[in-house]
Chains A and B, each alone.
Chain A
């Protein structure tokens, strides 16, 4: 039997506000345990939450970016459960009336198509602290630095059928959050955490199967792996005649397996009710307009512009708009080089390769957009062959100066002087009479192959600086005549 996988995702995005969502404590990663937790975060008696308006603005920015309906009146609720890293015994969240309602998000796929994902809702809530199980033998430490970090929980409809779609969505979400500047999106530090709701059904069926929820998957790679392993597990259960239990499962990256969380870890009655310590959030048209007018150019708009303005493919454009830094890099280089397609190829090819090799991000690139443009200009005006260009690029990477300076210093100028080349060609023909005879006797399709020998010889003589097109033309003409 063939099965179809059905998935919906819940992403917890940590918002990069300066202070926490309900207190004035700093919202930063990496401090000593419990130094960034104030009396409010500790749930001390008598303490009250005060809503951080930046968190609201970030949520509204996100809502506008995905064309969602905004809840003009949204309400915080208490989600009640006991856990040592949840100081108040409840998490302040939004259950009944979220701030961001239905929206849609188009995800660029590798084949150049756009995959639409329906967003069910996105709501504001506070993060819990962290339980540290490995620091003390037989005891659990509690670090409340993270308690009160603002989160936007983004929930999708069950629209995903493949892991590739899920990962593409997460990458697009990550990209959008970076554009909006609402999150640093650092998955390793937990800025973006993903829960996957996954079920299987016979291909062609309209009904949903029983789903499981895989919690706490925190890298694109693990998302792919967790989906694969859980799909396999559910398929095994179903094909051996079993049924899937609706449950929460934890993905263990070390063992690459999912396992059911103990029932005690899953509180199933959260007793949601409106948080009486906070007033409803009311947002009006004026506020929404002000937020909208301050939005940056969004990835999907930039992507469309790159395609029309620079004649890029959907795929290249999608890759280049991934982060605002990369997109800016491209635009600077393309504008200066006046050869956008070639610029895109170099950025996505040699530059990306070199950055990847040295584990660098685009903003850390030793080759600036201006330097790269200098190189592209020299390729476009035939000063450099693509082979020479690679050598100049190496020079740029080593920060030896501008492209022109490196060409000069390394003597890498392409020989385009017909007279000089002609002399070299004549010399090679003179030196290799046998090969010339062979060439002239050969059929046309074999001649092409034999031509390579002469090209190689001239290139050697010119130290690789002969202009390949010019050389070809000259060689063919000389070998044909006489």
Chain B
């Protein structure tokens, strides 16, 4: 296999090449490390490298491949977002608070992907504690968008998205609490899937907002996403909120036609917030699906606007208590020479957490406070139910909902750093999907001025199958997913 294809091919293609003996897991792994060595100093997508263990895993994979006991992901290189606990490998959430944290356990997602034979190359950059839409709040510095180094990759799984786009690895894991897989996938021109809440175990994922967090695949194709989701999914006795449902064979139905599929178009997703050039790309994409036999249906999601307010109460409220454990007592950052217990708490937390994390802890604490609970948290929970009902009603008329994944293409570094509200609007089309617990997929839908646009498809609860089939059909009839950044001028 050509060296160049090793860092641009899909995992499915790479798996065929491995099975056919056209390359080896070791060669593939080394090619990925070479790409990382060449471009990561500029892009800064990867913050921890596991070269030694990766090479050992690659060799073990090659033995399996030659013994004929390999599975579909055996020997495929993979990066984990630094929010997944990895045994004996630093897991920082890109926060000063956890720069010294080395978990003695693997997240369920990590151990399942390891059992599937993947080779873990390292950990990717992210917004601190997954709070952000630009990967600018990391203690390890910003990650740059491979399509334009002056732009952000989106976030919070910005490192993961940039790494897949830049050829560092065909697969990476992400987490999505309000859009953190789909928005960076959109901005970096890759495929990103947020599964239904409960499809993938949260055990070992450092919690941001427990009722919204969900892990998912970030890949070069929908087919790869199906393959990776297969390995990640299923009930976990260690996560009470993981769904005890049989996991369907996600790849089996991929090639089925979509004739007769009803695609709902929510008018609220094409309002004043949306860059009209993005709207145009989305309509082009929808036309391509119509040509494949899909039918477009106008639908309404009336509580879309309230989604942001609702999300920015519930997510910070849960975060404010999830992050209470970082108190400087047992692990994580501890301030020097605390005067007393209160000083230990105040300084350890003030020093360890960045500005955005502190903002959300404060907002969340406020929303849960006596006297404000009913006005904020309880009200937000009620609106959350209304948002869920909007989707249920919409799905009586359609099978899939389509719209943009983000209101625009990647913006310049620093453009929204001082305006949290503008930053929060980045997730307007994604976060209500988290509030409703539904699956959402972002796939490349073309370029505007050389920057990628993502089409978002939203499915019924636990119906990733239809989403994947629709997305795969789109990638069979278009070639947007094959567009790659040139990385011109990326060499340091």
Question: Interface of A with B (CB < 8 Å)?
Answer: 39, 42-51, 78, 80, 82, 84, 87-90, 142, 264, 269, 271-273, 276-279
Q: Could you give 14 example pairs across A and B, Cβ below 8 Å? A: A39-B105, A42-B330, A46-B91, A46-B203, A84-B329, A84-B341, A269-B370, A271-B365, A272-B373, A273-B321, A276-B211, A277-B210, A279-B240, A279-B241
| Chain B neighbourhood of A51, CB < 8 A | 240
From A48, A80, A89, A279, B238 is in contact (CB under 8 Å) with A48
Known: A48-B203, A273-B368. A89 touches B91 (CB 8 A): no
Q: Which residue of A lies closest to B91 (CB)?
A: A45
**Contact at A273–B373, with CB atoms within 8 Å?**
yes
A50-B237, A277-B241 known; A82 and B345 CB under 8 Å? yes
Let me know if B238 and A82 touch, CB within 8 A. Answer: no
- Given the known interface contacts A48-B240, A271-B365, the answer about A89 and B325 at a Cβ–Cβ threshold of 8 Å is yes
Across the interface, do B85 and A45 meet the contact criterion of CB distance under 8 Å? yes
B226 within 8 A of A: no
| Surface stretch bound by A, among B96-104, B269-277, B286-294, B303-311 | B96-104
A44 to B377, CA, bound (A): 26
Complex Cα distance, B185 from A133, in Å, reads 52
A279 contact set on B, CB distance < 8 A = 240-241
Mark interface residues in B214-248 (1 if CB within 8 Å of A CB, else 0): 00000000000000000000000111110000000
Give Cα A264 to B373, complex, Å: 23
B104 and A39 within 8 A (CB): yes
Contact B85 A46 (CB under 8 A): yes
Expressed in whole angstroms, the minimum distance between the Cβ of A20 and any Cβ of chain B is: 14
* Chain B residue contacts of A271, Cβ below 8 A: 320-321, 365, 368-370, 373
Contact between chains at B240 and A49 (CB < 8 Å): yes
Smallest beta-carbon distance A392→chain B, Å: 60
Known: A46-B107, A46-B207, A264-B342. 20 other contacts (CB 8 A): A39-B104, A43-B330, A45-B93, A45-B101, A45-B103, A46-B91, A48-B202, A50-B237, A50-B239, A84-B327, A89-B321, A89-B324, A90-B321, A271-B368, A273-B321, A273-B377, A276-B210, A276-B241, A276-B318, A278-B241
Asked if B204 CB lies within 8 Å of chain A CBs, one says yes
Chain B residues engaging chain A, CB cutoff 8 angstroms? 84-85, 91, 93, 98, 101, 103-105, 107, 202-207, 209-211, 237-241, 317-318, 320-321, 324-325, 327, 329-331, 341-342, 345, 365, 368-370, 373, 377
Q: Which one of B98, B206, B210, B324 lies within 8 Å of A80 (CB-CB)?
A: B324
Q: Return the contact of B321 from the options A45, A80, A84, A142 (Cβ within 8 A).
A: A80
Q: Which of B203, B204, B327 contacts A89 (CB 8 A)?
A: B327
Q: Are A45 and B98 in contact (CB under 8 A)?
A: yes
B100 to chain A, nearest CB (A): 12
Report Cα–Cα, A276/B105, bound state, in Å.
22
Query: What is the distance, in angstroms, from A324's C-beta to the closest C-beta of chain B?
Result: 35
Chain B, residue nearest A79 (CB): B321
Q: Residues of B contacting A276 with CB < 8 Å? A: 209-211, 241, 318
Q: Which of A46, A50, A273 contacts B204 (CB 8 A)?
A: A46
- Give CA–CA (A437, B379) in the complex, Å: 103
8 A-B pairs with least C-beta separation: A89-B324, A276-B210, A276-B211, A271-B368, A46-B204, A43-B325, A46-B85, A45-B206
Asked whether, in the complex, the Cβ of A90 is within 8 Å of the Cβ of B324, the reply is: yes
Q: Which residues of A contact B104 (CB under 8 A)?
A: 39
Contact A82 B324 (CB under 8 A): yes
Query: Which residues on the B side are within 8 Å of A88 (C-beta)?
Result: 324-325
Give Cα A298–Cα B300 distance, bound, in whole angstroms.
Answer: 59
When distances are taken between beta carbons in the complex, the residues of chain A under 8 Å from B205 are 46
- Cβ-defined contact, A277 with B368, below 8 A: no
Task: Please determine whether A80 and B368 come into contact, CB atoms closer than 8 angstroms.
Answer: yes
Q: Given the complex, which residues of A lie within 8 Å of B203, measured CB to CB?
A: 46-48
Chain A residue numbers with a CB within 8 Å of B317 are 273
**A49 partner residues in chain B, CB cutoff 8 A:** 240
**Chain A residues, Cβ within 8 Å of B84:** 46
Pair A277/B103 contact, Cβ less than 8 Å = no
**Residues of A with C-beta under 8 A to B207:** 45-46, 277
Neighbouring B residues of A47 by C-beta, 8 Å: 203-204
Note all chain B residues with C-beta closer than 8 A to A82.
324, 327, 345
CB distance from B59 to the nearest CB of A (A): 29
Task: For the complex, give the distance between the alpha carbons of A273 and B207 in Å.
Answer: 16
Closest to A270 in B: B370
CA distance A274 to B187 in the complex (A): 35
Closest to B101 in A: A45
Contacts of A264 in B (CB 8 A): 342
A272 to B378, CA, bound (A): 11
Which A-chain residue is minimally distant from B212 (CB atoms)? A276
Chain B residues with CB below 8 A from A272, complex form: 368, 373
Q: Which residues of A contact B101 (CB under 8 A)?
A: 45
Q: How far is the CA of A42 from the CA of B93 in the complex (A)?
A: 19
Of all chain A residues, the one with the shortest Cβ separation from B236 is A48
Select the residue from A46, A49, A142 with max chain B CB neighbours within 10 A: A46
Q: Given A44-B331, A87-B330, check contact A50 B238 (CB 8 Å).
A: yes
Task: Give min CB distance, A88 to chain B, whole Å.
Answer: 5
Residues of A within 8 Å of B342, CB to CB, are 264
Give the distance in Å from the alpha carbon of A47 to the alpha carbon of B210 in the complex. Answer: 11
